Amino acid sequence: MSTVVLPQVPARLGRFVLRMFRPHIYATYGLLWVLALEGSAVTLTGTAWRPSAATWVRVVSVVLALLFLRMLDEQKDLEYDRVHHPDRPLVTGAITVAELRGAMAALTLLVAGLNAALSVTAVLLSLAALGYGLFLAALERLSPAVRDRQLLNLAVTYPVQVLLGIYVYGSLAAAGTVAADWRGALLLALCACVFLHFEFARKTAWEAASGARLYSADLGPRRSASVTAGLAAGAVGCQLVLFAPAGPPGLLPCLAVALPLWGTRRFLTRRHGGWPLITAMGFVVMTYLALVVRAVLLP
C-alpha cells in the first residue's frame, strides 16, 4: 500500500474536485439555484431584490454542501464503481477514503462558520442537509433495497436537495427578509420539479445495459419519459401560480418549457438511445437564469 505524504493531499483533493465536481457545472448550478430561489422569494413579497453579502454566504454554502455530498457519494458507490467505473479516483487510489473524510470534516466546519454570520437557524439548517447525507450513507449500507432499487433510492435521497432549499428559504425567513408562507412551499416544489426533470432525463433510455441504474429500467422507457415530461410541466405550473399575477413579464421563465417539449418529442420519435441531455440541462439553466433576470428586472 502506498503512503500519501501530507503536503500532497491538497493537490490530490484538487484533482478530485476538478474531475468529479466540475466547477463549471456544479458551482454554476448552485449559484443559479440560490439566486433564483432567493430572488423569487424576495420579489414575491413585493420588495425589490439585489444580491447581498448574505446571498453570497448562501451560494457558497450550497456549493460546498454539494461538494460534501459528492464526496460522500463517491464513498457510497465504491463497490458499484469497482465494477462499472474502474477509473474513478477512489477506485484507482488517486484519492483515499481518509482524505475525503478529512475534507468533508473541513467543509462542515467551513459551512457552519459561514452561516454563523447569518443566524443560528442558518447554521442548523445548513448542517441538517449534511447530516441527512450522512444518515443516507448509513441507511444504504444497512438496506440493500434502498441501495439498489432506483425509485426507492430516489425517494429517500432526494430530500437532501429539499433540505438545501429549505436552508436558503429558512435563512431568509430567519433574517426577516421574507415571511414563510405557502409561496415558499411552491417555490421549493418548483425547484424540485426542475431538478427532478434533469434527474429523470439522465436516467431514461430505450436500452439498459446489465446493472445500469436507470429509472427507465424500472418504469419502462415510455413511462419514464412521461414522468420526465410531467416534471417539466409541474415546474411551469408552479410558475404560473406564483408569477401570473405579475403579468406577461413575470412569466418569462415559462419559455424554457420549449426545451423539454423538444426533448420529449425527440426521445419518443427516435425510439433508441437516451433522453437528449442537452435539453434537460438547458431547461435547468434557462429556468433558473430567467428567474434571476425576472427578480432583477421586476420591482
- The rounded distance, in Å, linking the Cα atoms of 30 and 91 is 27
Query: In this structure, are 147 and 228 located in the same domain?
Result: no
Beta bridge partners of 274: 205
- The 10s digit of each residue's pLDDT in 56-91 is 999 999 999 999 999 998 888 777 778 777 888 888
* CATH number of the domain residue 156 falls in: 1.10.357.140
Query: In this structure, are 206 and 135 located in the same domain?
Result: no
CB 76 within 8 A of CB 142: no
CB 204 within 8 A of CB 221: yes
Q: How many angstroms separate the Cα of 227 from the Cα of each of 201, 209, 236, 264?
A: 9, 21, 14, 10
Alpha helices, DSSP H, located in 6-143: 9-20, 23-43, 53-76, 78-84, 89-92, 97-116, 120-142
- The 10s digit of each residue's pLDDT in 180-227 is 899 999 999 999 999 999 999 999 999 877 767 899 989 999 999 999
- The rounded distance, in Å, linking the Cα atoms of 174 and 79 is 42
> Could you give the number of structural domains in the chain?
2
- The rounded distance, in Å, linking the Cα atoms of 5 and 288 is 42
Least confident among 36-40, 151-155, 242-246: 242-246
Cβ within 8 Å of residue 121, ≥6 positions away: 170, 171, 174
- Out of 152, 178, 204, a domain closes at 178
- The 10s digit of each residue's pLDDT in 258-285 is 999 999 999 999 999 999 999 999 999 9
Which domain, by its residues, includes 222? 181-299
186 within domain boundaries: yes
- Out of 123, 144, 178, a domain closes at 178
Query: In this structure, are 72 and 160 located in the same domain?
Result: yes
Evaluate if residue 3 carries a pLDDT over 60: no
pTM for the model: 0.92
